[in-house]
A and B are shown apart, each in its own frame.
Chain A
Amino acid sequence: MPIQVLMPALSPTMTEGNLAKWSVAEGDTVAAGDVICEIETDKATMEVEAVDEGVLGKILVPAGTEAVAVNSVIALILEEGEDKGALDLVEIEAQTPKSEPAPIASDMPAEAEHAAPAPAAAPEILEPEYDGPMINQTVRESLRDAMAEEMRRDEKVFLMGEEVAQYQGAYKVSQGLLEEFGDKRIIDTPITEYGFTGLASGAAFAGLKPIVEFMTFNFSMQAIDHIVNSSAKTLYMSGGQMGSSIVFRGANGAASRVGAQHSQCFAAWYGQVPGLKVLSPWSGADAKGLLKAAIRDPNPVVFLENELMYGVSFDVPESDDFVIPIGKAKVERAGADVTITAFSRMVGFALEAAEKLAEEGISAEVINLRTIRPLDRATIINSVQKTNRIVSVEEGWPQSGIGSEISAVVMEQAFDYLDAPVTRVTGEDVPMPYAANLESLALPTPEKIAAAAKAVCYA
């Protein structure tokens, strides 16, 4: 049987890529290690090497094809002794799953055991705040556009961080910015977080508006002193004289298979600090509208992105004036039986859970927090007064997490409305493991969220 050459993944998060070029032609002999083609994603270009030897029998995906799914068959290699006729024997599936997902351990029953489903409430159309043209783009592009638009608008705004300029951003978020704004305003720093965060904070004291990119928020721990002690507190310590308009942004939360030191959520850490605002977008519109709000805000803002969302596309308002108010949560899906709060990537999981729950007759209301600090308590309380049940979802650790805070707020302000204990779905209380099966057990899933929602509905 001819050997199937599959579209490779360049990273754990890649789902598709473009086949840029074939380096060999049908009929050519290839040896293991020979470059056979080039593939590209929005982040990188890479050469694909043959893993087997033989004769390139057939190219199934011509050069220039875009959005080729990972693991689809792109070519067939004839083994020694095979002739072209063998090619006809191959039945090609569009996509071969790489592996089965690991089973998820849960002490909640996966299947519903309750009576006939009540009709789910029809989802309302929410937040008709913008009715202009939309553009479909990735979260990565939305973030870049937010920065570019604000830099055009205000010459005091500049971006600094590791690899933000010449390399266009370690995750390509600052793509094209150096070209447009030059090296005065798009600044590659040494690998010195503490120093450049302090420098940016000082520049902000002097009235500039820095955007500090942490390659990931894990490295912000090197600099957390300046975020908390220099930026967040100076307005207070100076009796209101000296504030700073500064944004600290970068990828936060669990990434994929990068192990304990590169996979953690800082929402609760920064969410505790008076003098900071803390935002965490989910969708492309969130990313764009909230980042623009953060840059315009006269205060220090911690802006927690998510690497796994960078490549996800959404419809995003195509307007320089689309700014999302800080401190306002968004009801992404209306429901009557249980409230689910989430932020960042977990909003998508919560919506998936709500979909599953609806099939079982449970109507879940999903709130996208968007702002961690100041927390939009009113939206949460209003929802709980209606549903009488709440599940909070976050990737971070349980103790003193965002869910702990939501639990306290609900207890303080809506105790009499509760029909079940406030319930948290969080990342497990462990450093992130590297093994794929353990990693998926360590994080919330739509299934865990749905199970928790059913538990509070006593369903």
Chain B
Amino acid sequence: MAKSAKNTPAKKPAPKAPRRRPTKAQPAPSAEELLGFYREMLLIRRFEEKSGQLYGMGLIGGFCHLYIGQEAVVTGVHANAQPQDSVITSYRDHGHMLACGMDPNGVMAELTGRAGGLSKGKGGSMHMFSTEKNFYGGHGIVGAQVPLGTGLAFAHKYNEDNGVCYAYFGDGSVNQGQVYESFNMAQLWSLPVIYIIENNKYGMGTSIDRASSTTELYQRGSAHGIPGEQVDGMDVIAVRDATASALEHVRGGKGPYILEMLTYRYRGHSMSDPAKYRSKDEVSKVRSEQDPIDNLRQLIIKTKAADEAQLKEIDGEIKAIVTEAADFAKSSPEPDPAELYTDILVEA
């Protein structure tokens, strides 16, 4: 049970600078790379805003977990990915799928439950997969993706394909027993997996300090000898750099690595969550001071990687992609009733 607010000791840990193990210096990102990050983060943001709108119009149902605020995490990690690598995450998965290059039309049509969706409308917001992009879902049971991702890493090692699995999970999931079972096996067998803890400070309505005995999540592998690092997950370049140095360890055959990404979700846990457990000030402070897209935009202007007009042009392109996805998701037909009985077993 979560600790009640009353019992919480009055300790409010002073906001600390992110603790960083010495990330090996990486080459500064090129202008092209910066614009790529901008484009990708903006796509996720606009896509999620559109999802929220369609949900409000009754076109998307059930759970719908938006990734707004956390865009720098998946974007910075994926900047280092190689084609043979694999990705697995929770139900908060739209951003991950877009970062993996999955078709925005197919993702959006899955959200609306249409035949054109990536799972033919049978998976929904939380359950999409792509064999082509090595995206392994989309999992609804908190923590389940951690051993599954460890299994993907097991397969990378078994198949000797030099791939790495990026297994994403939340600050709420870190307390699941299966996470530690996975840590133990991953280290025992030197599996190529990066555990990416997206610490957005809340698991549903429970803040991390009410759910976790220790909140330095990057240390959660220390009992198993897994190195960890805390990263400013609102800074896409910091994420990129930390992932690159973690990859040297992991692809070098030294076993797993933990990256704790300090991030924040701007919206509620899912669409039905009014997020009363935190103050409006808390949210607006993060948005105004730490927003990953605003900050990158300023960096781009400052370093003259692009000017306002060029960025505006990108904004327009992204808007067009998202509009098209929404149109597709609205006009794609509902699945054929016969689909109810298909895909239960492989024809043997």
Contacts and interface: CB of A to CB of B under 8 A. Distances in A.
A370 interface: no
Interface stretch (B14-22, B25-33, B124-132): B124-132
A195 interface: yes
Interface stretch (A43-51, A239-247, A346-354): A239-247
B203 interface: no
Contact of A229 (B144, B147, B151, B181): B144
A299 B346 CA distance: 6
A226 B343 contact: no
A329 B78 CA distance: 51
A236 B137 CA distance: 13
Range of interface residues on B (Cβ < 8 Å): 35 or more
A205 B182 CA distance: 17
Contact of B150 (A199, A240, A277): A199
A221 B296 CA distance: 48
Contacts of A274: 344
B30 to A, nearest CB: 33
Interface stretch (A53-61, A145-153, A186-194, A412-420): A186-194
A298 interface: yes
Nearest to A210: B151
Contact of A196 (B86, B118, B141, B185): B185
Nearest to A205: B136
Given A230-B148, A237-B122, A274-B344, A242 B136 contact: yes
B62 to A, nearest CB: 13
B120 A208 contact: no
A163 to B, nearest CB: 16
B185 A202 contact: no
A97 to B, nearest CB: 47
Contact of B344 (A190, A206, A275, A326): A275
Contacts, number: 145
A297 B348 CA distance: 7
Interface centre among A194, A238, A239, by most chain B C-beta atoms within 10 angstroms, is A239
A200 B147 CA distance: 8
A287 to B, nearest CB: 20
B348 A203 contact: no
Interface in A291-313: 297-299
B151 A201 contact: yes
Interface in B325-348: 342-346, 348
B143 to A, nearest CB: 9
B217 interface: no
Given A234-B129, A298-B348, A208 B158 contact: yes
B123 interface: yes
A202 B343 contact: no
B177 interface: yes
Contact of B147 (A195, A237, A238): A195
B61 to A, nearest CB: 16
A62 B83 CA distance: 67
Contact of A202 (B119, B128, B147, B345): B147
B237 interface: no
A203 B154 contact: yes
Contact of B120 (A204, A239, A275): A239
Nearest to A207: B155
B144 A225 contact: yes
B138 interface: yes
Nearest to B140: A229
Contacts of B121: 239
The 10 closest A-B pairs by CB, nearest first: A202-B151, A195-B181, A198-B147, A206-B155, A202-B148, A239-B120, A192-B181, A199-B151, A238-B129, A298-B346
12 contacts: A190-B185, A198-B148, A204-B151, A206-B155, A208-B155, A229-B140, A230-B144, A237-B123, A238-B129, A239-B117, A239-B121, A243-B345
Interface of A: 158, 184, 189-190, 192, 194-208, 225-226, 229-230, 234-243, 274-275, 277, 297-299, 326
